[in-house]
Amino acid sequence: MNQLTALLKMNGKLLLRNKGFWGAIVLIPILAVLMLNVLGLGEEDSHENDDKNTYGIVKEMTQEDRRLVYLADGTRLTVKVYDSSESRLADYLLDELADKGLFEVFRYRCEEMTDAEIEKAAKEDADGDRIGVIVYLKADFEISAQEGNAEQGLTIFRTEADERQELFESSCQTVLAQMNAAAVMVQGDRTALLEVLEQTVEVLPQKQIEMLNISSKRVLNYQQLEYRSNICYTFAILGLAYSFCGMLIAHSLMKERENGVYTRVSLCNVTKIKYIGSKLVSAVFAVALETGIIGIGMSGLVKANFGMIYRDYLLMIFFLGLICTMLSICIGILAGNVMSANYAVFLVWMINSLISGLYFPTEFTGWMTYVSRLAPQKWFIDIMEILLLGEQGAYTLMLIVTAAFLAVIGSIGAVGLRLREEV
């Protein structure tokens, strides 16, 4: 036991004296925190569309520049509406359009905009957000509709040539024609106009949508999706920090091998298991220390809100960090020299982050699904989703995944050590 303590003390000192170690555990987390601030993590964002069934309903946007490209379901034409009319008649028009089935309508309630402003916004949406059609409802939409000229109250911005745009325009024409006909009938009375329109809808055969074979996929709402992507970014950056931390430990192992430290240590009756054990225990300490620093840094500087208990988040980071660190140590042992190990660690980290979908949600089909399961981050995204949804079983899964990865990494590392010794 004394020997183990002595070894641990030695390793601890070595690590603490190493400038790179402090760089990895202090600098990178600080950089990560700064970067998260740039990304706007921790800013509260409220959404009115939190219920899951939004099929055929106008979706409300609370931020104008919010990207819809990942939110839109992709099977329908995305329509973004700038609504400065804020009237019941505008609601009617948009509800009808959303109900057509082919269009997914997002509405942003805005102040009145000039032609130049709205055109600029529309161009940005079309270029940067894959919006199919942009509609501007003018402030006087309601008055135009009451006068029976509803079509004068809005402007439609066409983007790419896509046959659904014509369908959208013809749908608009149909609904607007109905509104105009009704307006003529009631002679411009607003309440009566709404009543007539609602009655017409009731006369028609009712439509119901049933979804068959709904798969067991977890469904996150907008807010949770936002949390998910923020946490994924932190996984990516911190994963790198932990990997470098593991590299430094692997580095000390390599140096010691060069200097024959192990041979000398073994003269004092230290078994190999104790020697390696001390390295692993110091790795766990380093990971815990780093997690602690990240934890304090983030709660102090970012005011981070991850949509889950902060302790759970740190727990996830700790286990993921443990896997990354051990993986780097293992790669270090296999590679044998610092330079190749560095590249290999970086490459593994990059590919893992990419295929597990840390930067953007990846949904693979076929064999890539299995390949992406080889990345520990992929499993931690699952765990995070469970935690976000408040479902059961996150802790168990966390422990099982960590144990499984460590077992695999451990055995590969052990084989690697044996091979190295034989050389």
Interaction residues for another protein, span 168-187 (CB under 8 A): 169-178, 180-181
Smallest distance from the beta carbon of 338 to another protein, in angstroms?
Answer: 6
Q: 251-274 in b/e burial notation, b at 16+ Cβ within 10 A? A: bbbbebbeeeeeeebeeeebeeeb
Exactly one of 1, 214, 268, 423 binds another protein (CB under 8 A); which one? Answer: 214
Exactly one of 62, 187, 259, 340 binds another protein (CB under 8 A); which one? Answer: 340
Q: Taking CB under 8 A as the rule, does residue 368 contact another protein?
A: yes
Smallest distance from the beta carbon of 263 to another protein, in angstroms?
Answer: 24
- Phi/psi class of residue 215: alpha, beta or left (left: φ > 0; alpha: ψ in -120 to 50)? beta
Query: Interface with another protein by CB under 8 A: which range of 87-95, 184-192, 342-350, 385-393?
Result: 342-350
Exactly one of 30, 338, 348, 397 binds another protein (CB under 8 A); which one? Answer: 338
* Cα–Cα distance, 192 to 146 (Å, whole number): 10
Q: Taking CB under 8 A as the rule, does residue 209 contact another protein?
A: yes
Q: Taking CB under 8 A as the rule, does residue 206 contact another protein?
A: yes
* Cα–Cα distance, 87 to 176 (Å, whole number): 15
Torsion of CA 102, 106, 111, 114, to 10 degrees: -50
Site string for another protein, 220-259 (x = CB under 8 A): --------------------x---x------x--------
Length of the chain: 423
Residues 274-303 that bind another protein (CB under 8 A): none
Residues 16-55 that bind another protein (CB under 8 A): 20, 23, 31, 35, 38-40
* Cα–Cα distance, 135 to 157 (Å, whole number): 6
Instruction: Say how many C-beta atoms besides its own lie within 10 A of residue 333's C-beta.
Output: 22
Strands 133-137 and 103-109: unpaired
Q: Taking CB under 8 A as the rule, does residue 260 contact another protein?
A: no
Exactly one of 88, 109, 164, 373 binds another protein (CB under 8 A); which one? Answer: 164
Helices (H), 77-149: 88-99, 115-129, 141-146
Residues 101-130 that bind another protein (CB under 8 A): 101-102, 119, 122-123, 126-130
For 80, phi then psi, to 5°, come to: -110, 130
Smallest distance from the beta carbon of 399 to another protein, in angstroms?
Answer: 30
